Structure 1
Amino acid sequence: MVNLLSVVVFALIGAVLAAGGAWLIVLGGSWYYAIAGIAFLIAAWLLHRRKPIVLWFYAAFLIVSLVWALWEVGLDWWQLAPRGGVPVVLGLWLLTPWVRRGLAPCAPDAKTPNGFGLSMAVVVTVVVAVAGMMNDPTAIKGRLNDTAVVENPDMGNAMPAGDWHQYGRTQYGQRYSPLDQVNVSNVADLTEAWRYQTGDVRRSEDVPETTYQVTPLKVDDTLYLCTPHSWAVAIDAKTGTEKWKFDPKVGMNSDRQHQTCRGVTYYADQNAQAGDHCAKRIYLPTSDARLIALDAKDGSICESFADNGTLHLEQNMPHKPSGYYYSTSPPVAVDGKIIIGGAVNDNYSTKEQSGVIRAFDIHTGELLWNWDSGNPTETEPLKDGETYTTNSPNSWSVFSVDEELGMVYIPLGNQVPDQLGMNRSASVEKYSSSIVALSIKTGQVQWVRQTVHHDLWDMDVPAQPVLVNISDEMGNETPALVGPTKQGDIYVLDRRTGEPLIKVREKPAPGGAIPEDHTAPTQPVSDLTFMPEKLTGHDMWGITLFDQLACRIQFHKLKYEGRYTPPSLQGSLIYPGNFGTFNWGSVAVDPKRQVMFGMPTYLAFTSKLIPRDEVPPQGSKKASEMGINQNEGAPYAVSMGPFLSPLGIPCQSPPWGYVAGADLRDGKIAYKHKNGTVYDMTPLPLKIKLGVPGIGGPMITAGGVAFLGAAVDDYFRAYDLTTGKQLWETRLPAGGQSTPMTYTTDDGTQYVVIVAGGHGSIGTKPGDYVMAYKLPDQKN
C-alpha cells in the first residue's frame, strides 16, 4: 500500500512538472522543470518495479537539482526553499524504512536497501540550506555618518522644539524632530502611555481604499487629526482624552475611489486678539471636495471663511461627477494663503475634474491664483463661467514651502487615463509626473523637473518633497530638495532652480507601445536610486516548485523588457508596480547629519489593455490599483493588479520591503535591510522576517532613532538611524499605515505617536486607534 501511494505521488508530481515544464520551454524559459518532471516519472516507474536503484537515481536527481538551484540563485535561502522543498521532503520519504522495505527483493534473507547515497544527498542539501539561512545576499551592511555636519540647521518655520505644526513637522517636510529624550540607548524601554479611539471605524459599505493615513499635529497642549470619513478631532497631548470632535457629514459614495485623510492644517492669525473666535484655526479637507475652517479651541465653524466656513472645491470644474474629486492631503498655510490641490479618481473616465492647484485667502476663502498644468501660464483667478482644463495632471500628495525663496513645491501626478498617452497636450507632456516649483505670490511656474517622460505607468510623484540645506566639503550650503519617486529614484535638486545636485542621466527605455501611442526613447535616472534590478525567470518565487513554475510561465507570457515596459494588449509586467518603491509616506531627512531614511518597497504589477468592445460590463468603477479600470471615453480599459502566484503571494522573490539609509551629500546608499515579518500575511502567526511590503512613512529624531510602522504586519518599530538595526517593536491593535510623529508636554515628557487604523487596499487590520508611547517614569 505504501509503495502504491509512493508511485501515485511521484507519478502525479512528474506529470504536472513535465507538462508545465514543457510549456515553459515553449515560452523560452528554464528546462529544469520538464527534466525534473521526467525524473519524477522515472522514479515512479522504478518504485512501481520495486527497484532499489531508485534511491541512487533520486540521490543523483537531488544533487543535480541542488547544482541547478545554486547556479540560478546562489546561497539565498528564500530562493532555494521553493526549489528544494518538495524534492528533499520526498527524498526523506524514500529513506523511511517502510518505503525501503518495499524495495527489497522477495527472498526472505535479502537485506533492505540502506539508502546511503540518498542520505548523503539529503545531508548535502540540508547543509547548503543552513548556509543559505546564515546568508543575506540582498542586504547592504554599512553605516551612515553619525556626526553633525551642521550644528544649527535650517529646519523650516520656527516652532517650539516639542511641537509638530505641519504634516512633516515644518513646511520643509523633513519628518525630523530635534527631541532626543528618546534615543538609541533607551528606545527599547518605550511603553504605551495612552490610547485613544476616534470612533470612526470602517464600514461594510465603504470603498476598498478606506484607510487611516493621518499624521497628527501637536500645537501647545493639543493633538489635531482627521479620520477616514473626514472627522476632525482634538485630543489632549498628555492624556489622550478627547477635547472636541467635528463631523462634516460627508456621506457615502461608492464612486469615491479613496476614503482617507492624511492630515489637517493649523493656522494662527497673528493679527487676531487673544480669545478671538478662530484666532487659531484648523483647516479640514474632506472626501466630498470641501475645505472647512474650524476654531482650534473648540471645533466650531469659522463662518467668516468662504461660504459660512466651507470652501467648495469643485467650483470652476468642467465636469462634476459626484465622488470623482476630493482632497486627501492637508493644504499648506503660508503668506496669508491656503494652497490646495486635489485627488481625482484614477482611470474612471476621460471627463474628470481638473488637477488645478489653487491659492485662497486664508481668512476669507477668496481665490487669489490658480495654476492649471493644462494651461500653465494663466494664473489669474478664473472668472464666473470659465472652467479649468479637463483631466489635467493633479497633485494628491503634500506640498512643501520655502517662504524665504517664495516657492511652494508641488509633487505632480499624471493625466488620466494613466496607461494611455494619446492626445496629451504639450503642457500635459511637460508637467506630468514632475516636481513643480510655483511662486507663492502669483502661482507662476519657477521651474519644473520631470521624473518620467510620457508616463504610461501611473508613476505620479507621490511624496511630499523634503527641503534641506546640503553642505559641500568647504562648508558651503545649497538649499536642496529631496524628491522620492514611485520608480525608486531619489532626486536631489537645487530648490532654487530645479537643477540636480546628484546627477540625473537620461538612459534608453523600452519601446513597443500600442500603434496609437508611443514611448519616450529615454527616461531620467538619478544616481541616487533604489530602483530594482530587472527581473528574470530566476527571480520567480513560490512556496513550492508548482506555484513557482506557474509564476515562471506567467512571467514569460507577459511583455517585459525592464523598467518602463509599456502597457500592452498582451499584458505587461510593470516593475516597480503601481504602489511604487516610495509612495506618499516619503522619506525622513536628518538636517544635521544630512542623511535620509526610507522604506523602499518592491512589488511587481501587471497591466493589460482591453479594447473598448471587449470590456466586460461593470456595475461599479471602484477598481483603482486592482481589477478592471473602465477609462470611459477612451479606446481601451486597463486591467491591473499585483503580480501574484496561484496562492496569492507575490510571484517575485522576497524581500519585498526594506529599510534603507543614504547620504544626501554623495548620494551613496549606506545600508538596506529586510523590514517586517509575515506574521499577519499567513494563516499561521509566524514571525518570520521576510521583508514585507508596506505603505506609510518614517520619522527621525535627534536621538538618532528612526520610527516606522507601515509594513503589512501590525507592528510599530524603531531603528538605529546610523546602521538601520532594529532597536524596538511593539504590536499594534490595527495596521499602522500612517507616518508617526513625536512631541513633548509641559512636564518635559517625550511622546511618540502613531495612528493605527489599517489600509483597505493592502488588507491590514482596520481600527481607529491613536497610540502614544513614552519612556517609563524615572525614579527619584
Structure 2
Amino acid sequence: MNKGISIFTKLVGIFLTLLGLALAAGGIYLISLGGSWFYLPAGLAMAGCGAGFIRTKAWTLYLSFVLLIASVIWALSEVGTDFWQLVPRTVAFLVIFMLAALCSPVLTNNAGRAALPKIASVVVSLVAVVSLVTVFANMFRVHPEVEPDATAAPAKVIDQTAKDNSGDDWTAWGRNTLGQRFAQFKQINTNNVKDLKVAWTYRTGDLAIDGAEYQTTPLKVGDTMYMCTPFNKIIAIDPETGKEKWRYDPHVKIGGANATWKRCRGIGYADLTTLPASADGQDLPSATTACRKRIVGTTIDARLFTVDAETGKLCEDFGDHGFVDLLKGLGPRAPGDFYPTSAPLVAEGIVMVGGHLNDNLEVGEPSGVVRGFDVRTGKLVWAWDPARGAKDSSPLPEGQVYAEESPNFWGTASYDPKLGLAYFPTGNQTPDFWNGNRHGYSEEYNDSIVAVEMKTGKERWHFRTANADQFDYDVSSQPILYDLPGKEGQTTPVVIQLTKRGEVFVLDRRTGKPVVPVEYRKVATDAMPGMKVADTQPFSAISVGTAPLKESDMWGASIFDQLYCRIQFKQMRWEGPFTPLSDKQRTLIHPGYYGGFNWGGGALDMSTGTLIVNDIRMAQWGQFIKREDAERRGLKASTEGEYSEQLGTPWGVERSMFMSPLGVPCFKPPFGSMTAIDLTTGKTRWQVPVGSIQDAPIHGVAPGMYIPLGMPTMGGPLVTKGGLTFFHGSLDYYVRAFDNNTGHELWRGRLPVGGQGAPMTYMGKDGKQYVVVVAGGATRTGTNNNRGDYVIAYALP
C-alpha cells in the first residue's frame, strides 16, 4: 500500500515541481511589469512542495500548509470574501495540501517517522477533502453581487393601480410606446410561478442558421399573436393554442451584408380606425375595407410594408403596391449597407424607422437619416437628418441624397402621447474605431438621445452620452419613459436611456436636462495622430458594472491562467475608460463594445418605480494595425469579427475578447447580471449573476454543469405586477423568473435551445395569463449547431 502511495507521491512531486517553476517564472515577469509579488514566492513554494513529494519528506505537509494559509491571507487582502475571485487564488494550494495530507503516511522526517500520526493524518486529510468539496459545492450556488437588505421592507408600492387600465394585450415592442415592458397581470405570481408549465409550442419553419438570429418579441392584439422571423416573414398565431392562422412572406433578397446578418427584432401595429383623417385628406377606411388594422414590418433588404392584421394579405394601398423602398434618398452605396433590423415605432399615424449600417468596413457609408411615413399611404412625411439637425426635417426633394456618414438609429424608438414627442438613440459615424474623419454633424449627434415631434420630425432637443466615441459605443436600447415621483409628491417626466457603457442616463424628457446627476470626468487623451478625442466624458450617478478594472480584478479558472491574465493586463494600455487605441500595443476596452446594455433594453416595475436591467460585462481589447501587416498575418476582414479594414482611414483595427488560454474571460465574474435599481433613490436594491456555464461552449465543448457564474446576456427582461421578472437571454438554455424584491430565482424552465429576445405576456380569452418566449439559439455561436425556431408559451395548469 505504502509503496503505491510512494510512487504516486513521486509523480505528483515531479508535476508540482514543473508547475511551481513555471508559476515562479511567470511571477518574475509579472514583477518586472510592476505587478503582484505573490506568484514568485508561491511558485517557489509549490516547486519546493514538489521536491518534498519526490523525496517523501515530512516538511512537505508543513510547507503546503503554510502555502495554503499564505494564499488565503493574500486572497482575502486582494478581493475580500468574493467567492469567485477566491477560488482561482486558493484552490490549487488547497489541492496541494490535500494531496500532502493524503500522502502523509509516506512523508517522513530524518528519524523515519511519518509527518503525522495515523489518526491525525486521517483527520487532516478529511478536513482538506471536506474543504475542497465545500468549495466545489459552492460553485453550484448563486453568489449575488449585491444582496438585498434583509432588514429592509419590500419595495414600496408607489402606484397601487399601475397600468391596471392597460388591457390584456401586448401591442408594441416594449408592450406600449413608452418602452416599459411592464404588465399589470398578477395571475402568475411569486407564490405559484413554480407551477408554470408549457402550454403550447409552435415552430416557425425558419431555422436560425447561416447568420440568422431570433431576437424578436411578439405582439398580441385581440385574439391573435403576431411575430416575425429573421427572414421578415410575418406569422399570426392563436394565442391560446399556438396554432398558425396565417403567414406573409415578403420574399427578401439575400446578398451583401444581410447574407450573414439576418434579424427581425419586432414589428408594429396600427389601428387606422382610431386615427383622424390624414394630412392630405384621405378618407378613413370603412368598416368593410381591408387593412383597417395593420401589422407594420420592415425587411433586411430595406423595405417597409404593411399587411392586414386579420388576413395577412398585403395592404396594396400602402406605398408602391404594398411596399416603400427605404433606399430612396440614400445614394448608390445603400444597397447591402443599409437595412432595418428592429421594430418600427408606430404612433399618431406615423411609422418611424431607422436602419442598420455596416460597421468598420470603410468610409462613405450612407446617411443615418430617421424617417416618418404615413401608416396609411406610405408617404414620406418627415426626415430627421443629422447633417441638418434641428434646422429642417422636411423630406429632401426627389432625386437628392441625404448627407452620407452620419450617425444612424438602429434600435426602437419610444413615444410620449402627452408631449407628442418621440425619443430615439443614435450610433456614431462608421468606421467606429477611427474617428479622425468624423464630420461636425456626426460629432454633434454621436451616441445621443434625440427628441423629435412625432408628427413633424422637428427636433426639440438632444443629449450626447459620449463627447467623442472611438469604441463603437452606439446607443441602441429603447428609451424608457416614466413619470418619476419626487419627495414633495410632484412628478417629473423622464426618459431613461441605457448605454453600452453601462451608464443609466435619466433626463427630463421635456428638455433633455439631467434629472439624475451627470458628471463630466477627465479621460485619457494620448491618442494616435489624427484621432479626435475629448478630454472629458459624461458619467451618470447611476451605472452598472462600470468600476474601472485593476490588476487584482484579473481572473482565470486556475492560478496559472490568472497569472497569464495579470501579465496581459499589465502589458496593455489602460488609463481607465476611453483609453485611446494605439498601434504599438493592445488597449483594454472596458466596458466592452457589446455592452453594458445592448439593444434588449430594460424594464420598469411601474408599481414600485424599480428599474430592472440585464447587462453584459465583457472586457475587450483593440489595436490599430497596418492593413498590409494584417494581410501578411492572414487576418480576414469583416464588420463584426476580430479584424476590420476601415478602408479610407489610415489604419485597420484588430480586436477581440480579453480571454485566457483556457477560453474563459480574463476578468472577474459575473459576465452578465440582473440588477434592480430604485429610481427614487438611485440605489441598487439587488444584483445577481444570470446564466450558468452549462451550455456555453469552451473551445467547442459545453461543460454540461449548472454553475451559475453569470454569463453575457442578450435581449431584455419582462416585469409583471405579480412580483416577477422573466428573462431568457442567457447563454444557457433556460427561461427564468426572478423575485422583484430579492432577485432570487423562483423558477427555471429548460428550453430546447438558447434565446436572445425578451419575453412578453398577455391574458388570453380563456382567462389564463401566458408568458411567451421565442428561442432560436444563443447569441452568435458561430455555427449552425443548437439552433431552432421555437415559440413557447407558459401558463399555470
TM norm. shorter chain > 0.5: yes
Write out aligned runs for 1:62-211 (5 A). 62-97=68-103, 100-101=105-106, 103=108, 110-114=112-116, 123=127, 133=138, 136=143, 138-142=145-149, 146-152=155-161, 161-203=167-209, 206-207=210-211, 210-211=212-213
Q: One-letter code of the match for 2:264?
A: C
Give, in whole Å, the separation in 2 of the partners of 1:541 and 1:267: 50
Aligned to 1:515: 529
Q: One-letter code of the match for 2:251?
A: K
Three-state SS of the structure 2 residue aligned to 1:600 is strand
**Cα pair distance change 1:301/1:749, threshold 3 Å:** same
Measured after TM superposition, the shift of residue 13 of structure 1 is: 0.4
Paired residues of 1:255 and 1:622 also in contact (CA < 8 A): no
1:382 aligns with 2:389: no
Aligned to 2:346: 333
Q: One-letter code of the match for 1:262?
A: R
Give, in whole Å, the separation in 2 of the partners of 1:480 and 1:694: 26
**Cα pair distance change 1:51/1:747, threshold 3 Å:** closer
1:607 aligns with 2:622: yes
Measured after TM superposition, the shift of residue 53 of structure 1 is: 2.6
Give, in whole Å, the separation in 2 of the partners of 1:369 and 1:341: 12
**Cα pair distance change 1:726/1:562, threshold 3 Å:** same
Worse-matched range after superposition: 310-319 or 261-270: 310-319
Measured after TM superposition, the shift of residue 193 of structure 1 is: 0.5
Provide the TM-score with structure 1 as the length reference.
0.93
Measured after TM superposition, the shift of residue 37 of structure 1 is: 2.2
CA distances 1:428-487 after superposition (whole Å, capped 9, x unpaired) = 111100100012232121011111110111111121001111221232222211111111
Give, in whole Å, the separation in 2 of the partners of 1:651 and 1:119: 37
Give, in whole Å, the separation in 2 of the partners of 1:347 and 1:192: 43
Aligned to 1:20: 26
Counterpart pick for 1:259 among 253, 257, 262: 262
1:589 aligns with 2:604: yes
CA distances 1:490-519 after superposition (whole Å, capped 9, x unpaired) = 111111111112111212222222122142
Long gaps (5+) in structure 2: 1-6, 274-283
Q: One-letter code of the match for 1:232?
A: I
**Cα pair distance change 1:41/1:90, threshold 3 Å:** same
Aligned to 2:279: none
Paired residues of 2:565 and 2:666 also in contact (CA < 8 A): yes
Measured after TM superposition, the shift of residue 196 of structure 1 is: 0.4
Three-state SS of the structure 2 residue aligned to 1:615 is helix
Give, in whole Å, the separation in 2 of the partners of 1:665 and 1:288: 44
Counterpart pick for 2:715 among 682, 696, 720: 696
Measured after TM superposition, the shift of residue 627 of structure 1 is: 0.8
Measured after TM superposition, the shift of residue 677 of structure 1 is: 1.8
Q: One-letter code of the match for 2:114?
A: T
Give, in whole Å, the separation in 1 of the partners of 2:501 and 2:32: 32
Give, in whole Å, the separation in 1 of the partners of 2:635 and 2:208: 22
CA distances 1:175-214 after superposition (whole Å, capped 9, x unpaired) = 11122222222222111100100011033xx23xx31110
**Cα pair distance change 1:96/1:364, threshold 3 Å:** same
Write out aligned runs for 1:617-766 (5 A). 621-624=637-640, 626-681=641-696, 683-761=702-780, 765-766=786-787
Equivalent pairs: percent with the same residue?
A: 39
Give, in whole Å, the separation in 1 of the partners of 2:142 and 2:216: 38
Q: One-letter code of the match for 1:685?
A: G
Give, in whole Å, the separation in 1 of the partners of 2:482 and 2:754: 31
Worse-matched range after superposition: 252-261 or 683-692: 252-261
Paired residues of 1:492 and 1:664 also in contact (CA < 8 A): no
Give, in whole Å, the separation in 2 of the partners of 1:44 and 1:224: 65
Give, in whole Å, the separation in 2 of the partners of 1:453 and 1:144: 40
Paired residues of 2:367 and 2:403 also in contact (CA < 8 A): yes
Aligned to 1:229: 231
Measured after TM superposition, the shift of residue 423 of structure 1 is: 2.8
**Cα pair distance change 1:620/1:443, threshold 3 Å:** farther
Counterpart pick for 1:492 among 506, 511, 534: 506
Measured after TM superposition, the shift of residue 646 of structure 1 is: 0.7
Three-state SS of the structure 2 residue aligned to 1:62 is helix
Aligned to 1:37: 43
Aligned to 1:769: 790
Give the number of equivalent residue pairs. Answer: 764
1:301 aligns with 2:307: no
**Cα pair distance change 1:71/1:135, threshold 3 Å:** farther
Paired residues of 2:363 and 2:647 also in contact (CA < 8 A): yes
**Cα pair distance change 1:45/1:745, threshold 3 Å:** closer
Aligned to 1:397: 411
Q: One-letter code of the match for 1:577?
A: G
Aligned to 2:4: none
Counterpart pick for 1:5 among 5, 11, 33: 11
Measured after TM superposition, the shift of residue 151 of structure 1 is: 4.3
Aligned to 2:277: none
Long gaps (5+) in structure 1: none
Write out aligned runs for 1:331-480 (5 A). 331-376=344-389, 377-480=391-494
Counterpart pick for 2:243 among 224, 241, 245: 241
Give, in whole Å, the separation in 2 of the partners of 1:739 and 1:149: 26
Measured after TM superposition, the shift of residue 15 of structure 1 is: 2.5
Q: One-letter code of the match for 1:141?
A: P
Give, in whole Å, the separation in 2 of the partners of 1:637 and 1:198: 40
Provide the TM-score with structure 2 as the length reference.
0.91
**Cα pair distance change 1:285/1:706, threshold 3 Å:** same
Measured after TM superposition, the shift of residue 135 of structure 1 is: 10
Paired residues of 1:319 and 1:390 also in contact (CA < 8 A): no
Measured after TM superposition, the shift of residue 329 of structure 1 is: 0.8
Aligned to 2:281: none
**Cα pair distance change 1:283/1:135, threshold 3 Å:** closer
Measured after TM superposition, the shift of residue 47 of structure 1 is: 4.1
Give, in whole Å, the separation in 1 of the partners of 2:625 and 2:123: 53
Aligned to 1:571: 586
Give, in whole Å, the separation in 1 of the partners of 2:143 and 2:404: 49
CA distances 1:204-256 after superposition (whole Å, capped 9, x unpaired) = xx23xx31110000011101110112111111111110011122222433533
Give, in whole Å, the separation in 2 of the partners of 1:544 and 1:67: 17
Measured after TM superposition, the shift of residue 4 of structure 1 is: 4.0
Give, in whole Å, the separation in 1 of the partners of 2:63 and 2:191: 57
Three-state SS of the structure 1 residue aligned to 2:771 is strand
Q: One-letter code of the match for 2:271?
A: A
Q: One-letter code of the match for 1:389?
A: A
Counterpart pick for 2:272 among 269, 273, 276: 269
CA distances 1:527-583 after superposition (whole Å, capped 9, x unpaired) = 122142211121111111111111111111111122222222211111111111111
Give, in whole Å, the separation in 2 of the partners of 1:281 and 1:220: 13
Paired residues of 1:344 and 1:394 also in contact (CA < 8 A): yes
Write out aligned runs for 1:475-554 (5 A). 475-554=489-568
Q: One-letter code of the match for 2:722?
A: G
Measured after TM superposition, the shift of residue 152 of structure 1 is: 4.8
Measured after TM superposition, the shift of residue 664 of structure 1 is: 1.6
Q: One-letter code of the match for 2:88?
A: P
